[in-house]
Structure 1
Amino acid sequence: MASTLALDPRAGRRVLADLIRVPLGAKAREAALIAAGAGLTGLAAQISIPVHGSPVPVTGQTFGVLLVGAALGARRGAASMALYLLAGFVGVPWFAGATSGSIHLATLGYLVGFILAGALVGRLAERGADRSPWRTAVTMAAGNVVIYACGVPYLAWSAHLPMSEAVHYGLTVFLLGDALKILLAAGLLPGAWKFAGERGVGH
């Protein structure tokens, strides 16, 4: 996978957020980008469809996480997800279904996985992995793997489920939705870079 994702030596460490020009100082700009990423994830999380028998709904949340990670890069992507979690824990109602949460949520593992996935996807995007549909799809899949690796074991523990049931209710039932989100990202992110190139931005 690493060789597949490190194919663009011209990419440097730039991500889409680096192309945004706003009249702010450097620190204020970084804070604004991180806050915007958290807000976008919270907005995407409100697209929520309950899954029968599962405490974990289908949401636009993971799409927001991976999109933000790719757009902001590793450090800002992880910071944005950390802000999203912390604000949700203290009462901002922007988890799935307009909820805020305690640390006893069955979905806590997935939420923690968001930070790691934001960092991973951001790092890969810094290496140019969001500039073609194929590499973007692989990058988004890698981010999903990280989220599930954190979320499913915690779901099994917190909901007192056998691991086989946790895998079914916390992973398998979401694979089709994840595939659709990956396809959407594979068109959106390379399309944004192409648009920037056509306008002479970032070259």
Structure 2
Amino acid sequence: MTTDDAPQRLAEVRDRIARAERLAKRPAGATTLIAISKTHEAPAIAPLIAAGQRAFGENRVQEAQAKWPALREATPDLELHLVGQLQSNKADDAVALFDAIHSLDRPSLVAALAKAMDRHDRRPACFVQVDIGDEPQKGGVAVAGLPALLAEARAAELPVVGLMCVPPLELEAAPWFALLAKLAEDHGLPGLSMGMSGDYETAVTLGATHVRVGTALFGAR
């Protein structure tokens, strides 16, 4: 793939999202497409911005700090999402840079984010990452621990808007997405960050409000 293909790839992903929304009888535009730009430099990202993409996702705070300030200066309405694991000692930098954080998963991070938000007077939207398939190496709070973590986050006045998951790689994604949707409904949360390049259409049909797509837009790394 080349950067010249970016508008065509973006249009195809958007068409697939729109078709999945129609199939599920969801409103058009109910799903936010987050282009996962981790490991890609500004020259690969710029064509997607030029084609109208505005929401982007990064895995690492430091990598995002290196490339996004200049991109945002040129295009101020960009929206930046942190989709990777966040160390508590990076909470300050994350709050300063990102508009949404998809990896809230433990009490120490609740405390660190609350302090950082007060310090910066910025309140990025937060998604609680759920370890939906009981895979501790992926991060995320265990399903059984979700109510307690949500209570802590709400007590700290974090703007928790939804849940996020990464289902087990080797299994059909739909049951895991359905479980996350049920958990979000049970806890009164409207946001569902789920679905990547291989399964985002399934995620949309099951209610995803945010899909995290990298390879389908940028090509294989």
With structure 1 as the length reference, what TM-score do the two structures score? 0.29
Choose between structure 1 and 2: higher strand proportion: 2
Choose between structure 1 and 2: higher helix proportion: 1
With structure 2 as the length reference, what TM-score do the two structures score? 0.27
Asked which structure has the greater RCO (Cα within 8 Å, sep 6+), the reply is: 1
